[in-house]
Amino acid sequence: MFKKILIANRGEIACRVAATAARMAIRTVAVYSDADAGAKHVQACDEAVFIGGSAPKDSYLRWEKIIEVAKATGAEAIHPGYGFLSENEAFAQACADAGLVFIGPPPSAILAMGLKAESKQLMEKAGVPLVPGYHGAGQGAALLQREADAIGYPVLIKASAGGGGKGMRAVDKSEDFAEALASCKREAINSFGDDAVLIEKYVQRPRHIEIQVFGDTQGNYVYLFERDCSVQRRHQKVLEEAPAPGMTADMREQMGQAAVAAARAVNYVGAGTVEFIVEQKPDGSMSFFFMEMNTRLQVEHPVTEAITGLDLVEWQLRVACGEPLPLQQSEFKINGHAIEARICAETPDNNFLPATGSLQVYGLPAHSSFERAAHGVRVDSGVRQGDTISPFYDSMVAKLIVHGSTREEALARLDAALMQTHIVGLSTNVQFLRHVVGSASFAQAQLDTALIPREASVLFHQDKVGLPLAAAALVAHTLDQEAQAEHTAQAATAQGWIDPWARRDGWRSHGPSLRSFSSVYQEQPQVLLLTRGHAQGLQLMVDGQSETLQFQRLHKAGSEGALDITLGARRIQAQVHDHGEVLHVFTPLGATTITRVDALAHAGETQAEGGRLTAPMPGKVVSFAVKAGDGVKKGQPLAVMDAMKMEHTIAAPVDGTVAELLYAPGDQVAEGAELLRLVPLEQPAAVAA
Ligand code: ADP
Ligand code: ADP
Ligand code: MG
């Protein structure tokens, strides 16, 4: 076995590879960029070497530098993780040339599977079923149009070099084809430097089911069952599970054998994933077609580890060392059901706009590392509380993996684990994931790639807590904080008591007293009125409704700092975290925020001026949809930016006229940079009475 390996990646995958290496007594070398100087993966490894600036091209993609570091530190092999250099055949070749082992397939296999069109031609020869479509070399617009017409609409145009859900356009009718083709080619050349496309029949109600395969250098192949990754947004995976609901033993074997045939056709070695698109017919039957092969470890590999009890990174290391596969096909068994949720820094309610910021609170459910599936909850994370999610890398914060004896059990466990995931400091998809898990389609395993749009009404803009309970949490938290502060002050004074007249909150010792709290909930100002009577205790008036309020701080293990709140007939436990004026309220029902407005702190502030259009995060300007002088309506798309592996449309906040474009397509912009100047339309003057 290797004595020392270099991990050419960052974040959770680098930490995960380091954990297996440590267990196998293999020493590890981390590489890191400026932004990652204090990152978790740097500490997780035995040694670490700085390799350059924060942008991937200045560090994690500098393969000459990485090979140099491997040689200088005496590493014998390089694990590329996923993303970055993992599917770069030139890098795999350069490792071999430098006498280093690339922990992955041979360069020829990466190359063969790297282009979607070429790999499909290969698969056709190997007898692997393909989606009806065109994947030829001819790329003329007229030829492609004829091919699309012959396939029949709807069709999907894909960039042959594409990946990560980018470079795809669905086309419903012949008239729309030319324009979609042009836009797909434009995105393909910008993102992948190659504008070749292929066309596929757009499969209706499709499911994404993929097969984990493994090969060794002796020519043995096995498949480690399937993963269902149908729940997607922008063609990117959100939830992944294994086994796939509704999978029959027969179909599993057929798909497994097709995947092994695909791997064999390219002399594959190591861990790989063959992705299939599965068509669900009205009669309930399913057909599967090869989509692509990812020649690396996949983000969602932990669900396979959970149901097989295997460590896939250990297998990768053994195979890379020349050992035969540890087990044969007949020795694998599926144990229970596993689901993975990708926790991302993003705002689902704002079209999944990626978010950046620091993890002020990063509370995770009780979990184990991948080695032991204790309590059925595993968390793979590359960050710690206090760390920053920077704009340089993708938006994935962590992966939550649950395992249960049945799908129902795994689902319940996932909901509980998400409920216990408390992140404050940046926006995440945690609540959104809870809504997906709770949706009828997901609960009943009605899976297909349109699940999110179909269930939109129960996934977006959901508020499970509601104003009264959020208000009660604000008041309870404030009074509790004051009581604690008072307690501390009291303990500090020599007499052991403080002057009641020094209190600022207007309480009186006799007679009912009234106190008001200014707050903002869901962008609406709300005045909360609290009265304390002799007999009935606290009464909270919210939005014209008055209810009794009681609360106490809990001290039991696991819920330290939680408040037990009773409002009228409802009783709930809430964890409240202050983030400036914003209170983050986590309850079993869901999480919400409510702002506690300190009126004095805002005196003299004016409204931000309208008409400025700034970059929501650092990134690249892709295109402008308008030019100087254009009149625009509120909500109209003005510009497209690319950041954190996603495209974002910037829309007009008000009706107006475009005065000036301040950047050109292709320009790199900083967060907050003004992209264009918009002159808002004159507001109609107020009519004098
Ligand atoms: P998958 O099918 O496994 O989701 P993706 O194409 O979405 O494949 O990429 C896999 C993972 O690789 C991403 O989720 C991300 O963690 C990582 N990755 C890919 N490209 C980059 C990049 N440029 N910067 C940072 N991470 C990246
Ligand atoms: P990428 O390299 O970006 O991962 P894929 O070819 O794997 O691209 O496709 C990504 C996703 O797009 C699939 O998981 C599926 O949701 C959708 N998709 C791909 N091909 C088709 C098709 N022919 N019909 C319908 N949906 C498709
Ligand atoms: Mg794919």
How far is the CA of 537 from the CAs of 468, 492, 508, in angstroms? 18, 29, 14
Residue 606 is predicted with a pLDDT of 42
Task: Name the band, by pLDDT with cuts 50, 70 and 90, for residue 341.
Answer: very high
Q: Is the pLDDT of residue 200 over 50?
A: yes
CA distance 542 to 546: 6
Q: Which of 228-242, 450-464, 488-502 has the lowest mean pLDDT?
A: 488-502
C-alpha 76: how far from chain center: 33
What is the sign of the dihedral through the CA atoms of 443, 446, 449 and 452? negative
CATH C-level class of 467-602: alpha beta
Residue 507 is predicted with a pLDDT of 53
Residues that place a CB less than 5 A from ion ligand 3: 275
CA distance 263 to 268: 5
- We find that the CATH architecture of domain 612-680 is Beta Barrel (2.40)
Within 13 Å, how many C-alpha atoms sit on residue 105's CB side?
Answer: 32
Strand partners, 47: 29
202 and 131 Cβ atoms separated by less than 8 Å: no
Q: Which of 59-68, 263-272, 627-636 has the lowest mean pLDDT?
A: 627-636
CATH C-level class of 4-103: alpha beta
Distance 82 CA to ligand 1 centre (A): 6
C-alpha 13: how far from chain center: 14
Beta strands 77-79 and 101-102 are parallel
Task: Name the band, by pLDDT with cuts 50, 70 and 90, for residue 559.
Answer: low
Q: Which of 226-230, 383-387, 620-624 has the lowest mean pLDDT?
A: 620-624
Residue 558 is predicted with a pLDDT of 63
| Shortest-distance Cα residue to atom 10 of ligand 1 | 83
Say which ligand is closest to the CA of 84.
1
Query: pTM here?
Result: 0.87
Average pLDDT, the chain: 91
DSSP string, 5-25: EEE---HHHHHHHHHHHHHTT
Q: What is the CATH number of domain 132-201?
A: 3.30.1490.20
Q: 3-class DSSP state for residue 209? A: strand
Tokens describing residue 525: 């100002």
Q: 3-class DSSP state for residue 397? A: strand
Within 13 Å, how many C-alpha atoms sit on residue 155's CB side?
Answer: 29
522: number of Cβ within 10 Å: 13
70: number of Cβ within 10 Å: 25
Tokens describing residue 204: 């209706």
Q: Name the CA radius of gyration of the chain, rounded.
A: 28
Give residue for tokens 């709300």: 526
Q: Which residues line ligand 2 (CB under 6 A)?
A: 131, 156, 158, 162-165, 200, 202-203, 206, 208, 232, 235, 275, 277, 291-292, 449
What b/e string do you get for 559-585 counting C-beta neighbours within 10 Å, with b at 16 or more? eeebbbbbbeeeebebbbbeeeeebbb
Q: Is the pLDDT of residue 400 over 90?
A: yes
Domain extent listing, the chain: 4-103, 132-201, 206-459, 467-602, 612-680
The torsion angles phi and psi of 83, rounded to 5 degrees, stand at: 75, -165
User: Which residue type is seen at 493?
Assistant: T
Instruction: For ligand 1, say whether the CB of 376 is within 6 Å of any of its atoms.
Output: no
Strand partners, 669: 619
Distance 371 CA to ligand 2 centre (A): 32
Q: What is the mean pLDDT of residues 361-385?
A: 84
Instruction: For ligand 1, say whether the CB of 587 is within 6 Å of any of its atoms.
Output: no
CA distance 230 to 645: 20
| Shortest-distance Cα residue to atom 17 of ligand 1 | 83
Residue 283 is predicted with a pLDDT of 86
DSSP string, 564-580: EEEETTEEEEEEEEEET
What b/e string do you get for 623-647 counting C-beta neighbours within 10 Å, with b at 16 or more? bbbbeeeeebeeeeebbbbbbbbbb
Q: What is the mean pLDDT of residues 417-422?
A: 96
Q: Which of 369-378, 486-495, 664-673, 680-689 has the lowest mean pLDDT?
A: 680-689
Distance 156 CA to ligand 2 centre (A): 9
Distance 115 CA to ligand 3 centre (A): 12
Tokens describing residue 182: 């042009």
User: Which residue type is seen at 468?
Assistant: P
- Looking at the chain, the number of H-run helices and the number of E-run strands are 17, 39
Q: Is the pLDDT of residue 612 over 90?
A: no
Instruction: For ligand 1, say whether the CB of 299 is within 6 Å of any of its atoms.
Output: yes
Q: Is the pLDDT of residue 164 over 90?
A: no
356 and 391 Cβ atoms separated by less than 8 Å: yes
In the chain, the percentage of residues whose pLDDT exceeds 90 is 74
**378 among known catalytic residues:** no
Say which ligand is closest to the CA of 209.
2
What fold, for 206-459? D-amino Acid Aminotransferase; Chain A, domain 1 (3.30.470)
Give residue for tokens 């030319």: 178
Distance 449 CA to ligand 2 centre (A): 9
The catalytic residue among 296, 318, 434, 596 is 296
Q: What angle do CA 469, 472, 477 make, to 5 degrees?
A: 125
Peptide bond just before 154 cis, omega within 30 deg: yes
The residue among 75, 16, 3 whose CA lies nearest residue 44 is 16
| Shortest-distance Cα residue to atom 14 of ligand 1 | 299
User: Which residue type is seen at 88?
Assistant: N
CA distance 116 to 314: 29
Task: Name the band, by pLDDT with cuts 50, 70 and 90, for residue 688.
Answer: very low
- Return the ligand 1 atom nearest residue 342 CA: 14
How far is the CA of 96 from the CAs of 67, 83, 129, in angstroms? 10, 20, 33
Residues 6+ apart with CB under 8 A from 348: 233, 429, 432, 459, 460
414 and 399 Cβ atoms separated by less than 8 Å: no
DSSP string, 506-519: ---SSS-EEEEEEE
CA distance 320 to 105: 9
The torsion angles phi and psi of 400, rounded to 5 degrees, stand at: -110, 120
